[in-house]
Amino acid sequence: MRTFEFRLYPTKDQQVMLLHHLDVCRQLYNRILAMLNRVRETGEYFDWNWTSALIPLWKYSDFPSLKDVYSKVAQMTNDTLWDNIKSLSKLKKKGLRVGKLRFKGQGW
């Protein structure tokens, strides 16, 4: 199998758009993580399906900038968060001391 790498040179407008999309994904990651932390404190059940069902609700209610990002990108942000949770739980099962997931800051 052959692979090829190509360097992309986006225009200024494309750079601005890409940075905006990254920032919206960062905000979505932080919002889902905050929701999971709140739910965890109350002892309710949550899973990937529950958080992925919240994304369309947020898109049309209180997070309008999420409309700028494709739905697959938003779902991949959700997947990334859940992959991080699974990785931490695997490390914890091995007996390692792990902390909590952190919120992503500006410029992440």
Mean pLDDT by 10 residues, the chain (108 residues): 92 95 94 91 86 91 90 95 93 90 84
Q: Are 92 and 60 in contact (CB under 8 A)?
A: no
Distance in angstroms (rounded) separating the CA atoms of residues 16 and 81:
25
pTM: 0.86
Q: Are 24 and 66 in contact (CB under 8 A)?
A: yes
Q: Hunting for tokens 């309008």 — which residue is that?
A: 64
Residue of 84, 70, 71 lying closest to 30 (CA atoms): 84
